[in-house]
Structure 1
Amino acid sequence: MQTVRKKILAISGSTKKNSSNEAIIRFVANSLQEEADVQLFNSIDQLPHFNPDLDHEAPPAGVADFRRQIQEADGVLICTPEYVFSLPGSLKNALEWNVSTTNFSNKPVAIIVAAASGEKAMESLALILTTIEARLPEESKLLIKGVKGKINAQGEIQDAATIRQIEALTASFMRTINAANEIPTKYQM
């Protein structure tokens, strides 16, 4: 029996090119290359500021494309830094464009906050995703403190404990995705 490759949309909360968050996403993509296609959404900084007046049947083109990518994905991976004890504005803005939709309803999601500290960003991101009804098990949440000391200048994760934690999160995330495809939800009936 042939296994169907899963589609994962990865979102980096950092707008910095070659950020620690992108390095972690690349690591996850490489570890999943046999079973999933991981696509990085790299236009988070190009989404317009959320405006309820524009949130209708024909939203701005970039927003419509972003929403389509979420809908088509089997799961969404979010990896973000923490800015001033909160989420980066660009990530919060991207999520706000989905509040009026059911794009995240029962969608398997994994979150990684990779920052100096990160607790407040983790708390905020988990609350937002729970509010928009994402499927986010505890095992699919990871806080990586002191990330700058765990990734080298070439963007490679050097800390063995961090690698094990990411691998455990990735395994949990794939179990959630596979379970979501087997069990009908109230949105699939």
Structure 2
Amino acid sequence: MPAEIRVLAISGSLRAASSNSVLIRAAAQVAPPGVVFDLFEGLADLPHFSPDLDEAGAPAVVQAFRRRLAAADAILICSPEYAHGVPGSLKNALDWIVSSGEMVDKPAGLINASARATIAQASLVDTVGMLSAVVVEAASPVIPMTGRDLDEAGLIADPVLGPALRAAVAALAAAARK
């Protein structure tokens, strides 16, 4: 059992004011003692996935992403739904790790910021499962941010959303400790 649990947290949105990014940052703030979050903000920096590039030696930015995944004890992803799917930038990042195995047997929480984003959520569950991560259901709630203008402090203070986020982060940490 690691002394400290490291969670790599990824927002699937590139928008600066994304509710998905607010959720990820708030999750880091409510983490229980001994749980450290590493916020990955490099989706836009990853080149388009190409098996040819990977066979020639993955680009340095991809290697750095893989190292961060490898160093994590758990993964937390919060993704929007675009055109009934996972945003291309997030799917691209996940494509880069299909053959490298950094998510194998790692617990993964897949928080959803919109109750309407069911198609992307189902796709993300399938993709992360195919990468051999263990999707932790209790760490994968819908935390409905749609129509709310909350920052991290407002989300944490919300009497419904704050406890739901704390419970999800605690469930992910517990899964990583097993």
* TM-score > 0.5, shorter chain as reference: yes
Measured in 2, the distance between the counterparts of 1:57 and 1:144 equals 41
Query: Match of 1:148?
Result: 146
3-state DSSP class of the match of 2:113? strand
* Residue correspondence of structure 1 range 103-114 to structure 2 within 5 A: 103-114=102-113
What residue identity is the alignment partner of 1:149?
G
Query: Match of 1:162?
Result: 161
3-state DSSP class of the match of 1:120? helix
Q: Is the 8 A contact 1:23 1:156 kept in 2?
A: no
Query: Match of 1:119?
Result: 118
Query: Match of 2:129?
Result: 130
For residues 131-169 of structure 1, the C-alpha deviation after alignment (integer angstroms, 9 at most, x for no partner) is 111011221212234x23344267631642222221221
Q: Is the 8 A contact 2:10 2:41 kept in 1?
A: yes
Measured in 2, the distance between the counterparts of 1:19 and 1:49 equals 22
Measured in 2, the distance between the counterparts of 1:110 and 1:64 equals 23
User: How far off is 1:51 after superposition?
Assistant: 0.6
RMSD (Å) for aligned C-alpha atoms = 1.9
Q: Is the 8 A contact 2:26 2:153 kept in 1?
A: no
What residue identity is the alignment partner of 1:138?
E
Query: Match of 1:175?
Result: 174
Aligned length: 176
Measured in 2, the distance between the counterparts of 1:141 and 1:83 equals 19
Measured in 1, the distance between the counterparts of 2:18 and 2:130 equals 28
Comparing 33-42 with 169-178, greater Cα deviation is found at 33-42
User: How far off is 1:125 after superposition?
Assistant: 0.3
Q: Is the 8 A contact 1:11 1:42 kept in 2?
A: yes
What residue identity is the alignment partner of 2:14?
T
Query: Match of 2:48?
Result: 49
Measured in 2, the distance between the counterparts of 1:154 and 1:32 equals 13
3-state DSSP class of the match of 1:24? helix
TM-score of the two chains, using structure 2 as the length reference: 0.90
TM-score of the two chains, using structure 1 as the length reference: 0.85
- Kindly report structure 1 stretches of 4+ aligned residues shifted beyond 6 Å: none
Identity %: 35
Comparing 136-145 with 57-66, greater Cα deviation is found at 136-145
What residue identity is the alignment partner of 2:128?
L
